[in-house]
């Protein structure tokens, strides 16, 4: 039989839940700031359906974190619940976030001049950083961010592994399409560069 604890019996929220919610907020805020102040978008428009899906996705994502809280009840202070997987997941999250930010900055630099002003909206061949290994390191970083959140749940949340699996398929498809575009557009595109995962895919 399953035993459900009422919210009033929980003196402290589970550290994993709090940490994942916090990191999701940090991730969302960083991506918003990058969209507003770093990225240089083409003159194409985002379809309304894509926009609505994106908004709903992040709302449901936050609720999914709360639903995953059934894995265990925290006892004592949040700090006393700290375990190795919280640290490992947080370190991976920070590293993947830095990797993604660096990639976004490099992509934006392809359309801006030394002054930082936009010079072109045309696509250019990305180089430097993780672009030397894959066509879309920012997509790889997105996957790693979700894997890091699964680790923070101790790797025990099937729900979060399913979310990570969705992100894998979504980002891998987008990366493959982008990779094929680069190959068709640039004759000198590096042969060793993969689409999504270094040396693999």
pLDDT tens across 45-54, in order? 778 888 898 8
Q: Is the pLDDT of residue 19 over 90?
A: yes
pTM: 0.86
pLDDT digits (tens, 9 = 90+) for 136-157: 999 999 999 999 999 998 888 8
Of 5 and 39, the structure prediction assigns the larger pLDDT to 39
The pLDDT score that the predictor gives to residue 143 is: 97
pLDDT at residue 69 in the model: 64
Domains of the chain, residue spans: 7-185
Reply yes or no on whether the pLDDT at 67 is more than 60. Answer: yes
DSSP string of 94-150, one letter each residue:
HHHHHHHHHHHHHHHHTTB-TTS-B---S-----SGGGGTBS-HHHHHHHHHHHHHH
Query: Per-residue confidence at 13, pLDDT binned at 50, 70, 90?
Result: very low
């Amino acid at each position: 039989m399953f035993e459900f604890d009422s919210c009033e019996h929980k003196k402290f929220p589970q550290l994993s839940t709090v940490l994942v919610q916090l990191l999701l907020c940090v991730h969302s805020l960083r991506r918003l700031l990058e969209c507003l102040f770093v990225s240089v978008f083409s003159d194409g428009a985002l379809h309304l359906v894509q926009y609505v899906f994106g908004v709903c996705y992040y709302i449901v994502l936050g609720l999914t974190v709360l639903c995953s809280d059934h894995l265990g009840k925290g006892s004592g202070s949040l700090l006393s619940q700290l375990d190795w997987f919280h640290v490992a997941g947080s370190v991976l999250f920070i590293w993947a976030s830095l990797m993604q930010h660096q990639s976004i900055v490099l992509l934006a630099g392809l359309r801006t001049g030394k002054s930082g002003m936009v010079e072109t909206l045309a696509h250019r061949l990305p180089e430097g950083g993780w672009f030397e290994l894959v066509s879309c390191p920012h997509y790889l970083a997105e996957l790693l961010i979700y894997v890091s959140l699964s680790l923070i749940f101790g790797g025990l949340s099937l729900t979060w592994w399913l979310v990570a699996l969705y992100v894998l398929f979504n980002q891998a498809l987008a990366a493959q399409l982008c990779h094929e575009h680069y190959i068709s557009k640039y004759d000198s595109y590096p042969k060793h560069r993969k689409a999504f995962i270094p040396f693999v895919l």
